[in-house]
Structure 1
Amino acid sequence: MFSDADAAALYDLTNPWDAARYPSDAFYDDLVMAADAVLDVGCGTGSMLRHARESGHSGRLAGIDPDRAALERARRRTDVEWHEGTAADISWDREFDLATMTSNAFQCLVDDDELRASLTAIRTALRDGGRFAFETRHPQARAWEDWNPGNAGDVVDASGRALRVWHEVESVAGDVVTFTETTAEPDGAVLRVDRTSLRFLDVPTLNVFLAEAGLAVEEQYGDWFRGPVAGDSRVIVTIARRT
């Protein structure tokens, strides 16, 4: 079988934090290194915060995530705070200059009540004038149409095991897409199937949720080079400030 720990290790292998290769990583690195206290919501294996500490960040760095296996990998670095929980579980009050949700983690907030509770908790954790930076896939790009077995990828994990990974959409209900990720051996023998639902919010709807939570949009981009949101944008990058 392919365990949770195996999945976390494979994620680190296939999604390395590398600002030289990925403009998204460079975008967040600039924000994190300029902030004294940073909270990464949905930190996963902690690669962004681990990299920040390795790069000389001397302030407070904290990550929170509900995935225990991912946190086990994150906790190999002991000079960063790691907490188990969801965005709505955040209980800090005005302790951070910056909160982040990277790697489209924001889209995991599917239900209206969950989204509102999460944004309220994130705002509460920010100091006056603190900022919340995150990205979400733009629904106009219909990224889920590429999630099918025909786009399977072949990878080799850290132990040298060959794997094949693919995604398959189960349903599209309004702005929520539910899909599976299958990890298999090269011959197709299935080792693991994970099911996920993601919400694809457009700009007006997204900004209403932020405003309701007391977060004012300060900057919003359609790419990682700070270009405007346009008709061909595949991403919505948002920086909102606590009001």
Structure 2
Amino acid sequence: MFSDADAAALYDLLNPWDPDQRPEDSFYFPLVMGAESVLDVGCGTGSMLHLARERGHVGRLVGLDPDHAALERARRRADIEWTDGTAAEAERGANFELATMMGHAFQNLITDQDVRASLAGIHGALRPGGRFVFETRHPQARAWEGWTSSNPDDVAEVIDESGRALRYWHGVDSIAGDVVSISGTLAELDGTVLRGFTEDLRFLDVATLNGFLAEAAFEVEAQYGDWDMAPIGSSSREIITIARRG
């Protein structure tokens, strides 16, 4: 058996949160530490908020996620608020200074209605002038073409908390318009499959994304094509957005 709790622990192994080593984390962390109240949408196991508290954040920190197993792992730290729910269900009128949505979680919003409802929920949770910071993969980079077991950069080997040696890789199941359906496979090193995962990801282009933001009464304050804050260009792999609530 490879349980949901095991899967949550595996996520932390595959995605260690470290602003001292990972450029995406070092982009977000000063924003979080500089805001007196933060809503982390799609917080997962809560690694970012855990570290913020450990490093001295004294304001309100709230993690929001619909994944029960991930939240159970996040709740190992009790001095942060953890809420089971989606972006659309964010606390209206909470007056957060900052909302974040990391780990390309924005791409899990598949339909136009998903995007609109989520942006409305985040808008309602922010104070006037509050900022929403998130990233989505730029479709021009065609990231999905590297998600295959034949790409050594996409195959990860880890030792889990019980001491098992595991291998994890991706595959693309289908592409329909701007939605890519992928599968993840977790196996022992001898090839014994322990669990499969499926996920749909939407790849919005800049114009479409900004149209949704404007419709939701967000003003784009800045957009970058990489974590070094380079402008979006023909080789950009990311669309990193800082949007301000109007």
Asked if residue 170 in structure 1 is aligned to residue 188 in structure 2, the reply is no
**Which letter maps to 1:17?**
W
Question: What CA distance in whole angstroms lies between the structure 2 residues aligned with 1:232 and 1:20?
Answer: 26
- Aligned partner letter, 2:218: L
Is this contact kept in 1: 2:137–2:237, CA < 8 A?
yes
The answer on whether the counterparts of 2:109 and 2:201 sit within 8 Å (CA) in structure 1 is yes
1:196 correspondence with 2:199:
yes
Q: Output the amino acid matched with 2:194.
A: L
Match of residue 139 from structure 1: 139
Give the paired residue count. 243
TM-score normalised per structure 2: 0.97
Unpaired runs of 5+ in structure 2? none
Tell me the amino acid that sits aligned with residue 200 of structure 2. S
Q: The residue matched to 1:72 in structure 2 has which SS?
A: helix
Give the structure 2 partner of residue 126 of structure 1.
Answer: 126
- Whole-angstrom CA distance in 1 between matches of 2:89 and 2:245: 19
Shift of 1:110: 0.7
- One-letter amino acid matched to 1:137: R
Match of 1:239 among 229, 242, 246: 242
| 1:187 aligns to 2:185 (yes or no) | no
Displacement of 1:14: 2.3
* Letter in structure 2 aligned against 1:116: R
The RMSD of aligned alpha carbons is 0.9
Matched with 1:117 is 117
Alignment-derived partner of residue 10 in structure 1:
10
Q: Work out the CA distance in 2 between the residues paired with 1:211 and 1:112.
A: 14
**1:94–1:128 contact (8 Å) kept in structure 2:** no
Correspondent of 1:154 among 152, 157, 171: 157
In the alignment, the residues of structure 1 paired with residue 161 and residue 119 of structure 2 have an alpha-carbon distance, to the nearest angstrom, of 36
Cα separation, 2, equivalents of 1:14 and 1:153: 7
Residues 110 and 197 of structure 1 are in contact (CA less than 8 Å); yes or no, is this contact kept in structure 2?
Answer: yes
User: For residue 47 of structure 1, what is the aligned residue in structure 2?
Assistant: 47
Question: How far off is 1:134 after superposition?
Answer: 0.3
What's the counterpart of residue 20 of structure 1? 20
Q: Which amino acid in 2 is paired with 1:110? A: I
Q: Give the Cα–Cα distance (whole angstroms) in 1 for the partners of residues 234 and 2 of structure 2.
A: 40
Per-residue CA shift, 1:93-112, capped at 9, x if unaligned?
Answer: 14200000001001001111
* CA–CA distance in structure 2, aligned partners of residues 142 and 218 of structure 1: 26
Partner letter of residue 206 of structure 1?
A: L
Could you tell me which residue of structure 2 aligns to residue 98 of structure 1?
Answer: 98
Whichever residue aligns with residue 227 of structure 1, its letter is: A
Note if 1:211 corresponds to 2:235: no
Partner Cα distance (2:15, 2:195) in 1 = 19
Structure 2 contact 225–238 (Cα < 8 Å) conserved: yes
Q: Residues 14 and 156 of structure 2 are in contact (CA less than 8 Å); yes or no, is this contact kept in structure 1?
A: no
Larger mean Cα displacement after TM superposition, 84-93 or 208-217: 84-93
Q: How far apart are residue 92 of structure 1 and its match?
A: 2.4
SS in 1 for 2:150: helix
1:78 paired with 2:78, answer: yes
Under a length normalisation based on structure 1, what TM-score does the superposition of the two structures give? 0.98
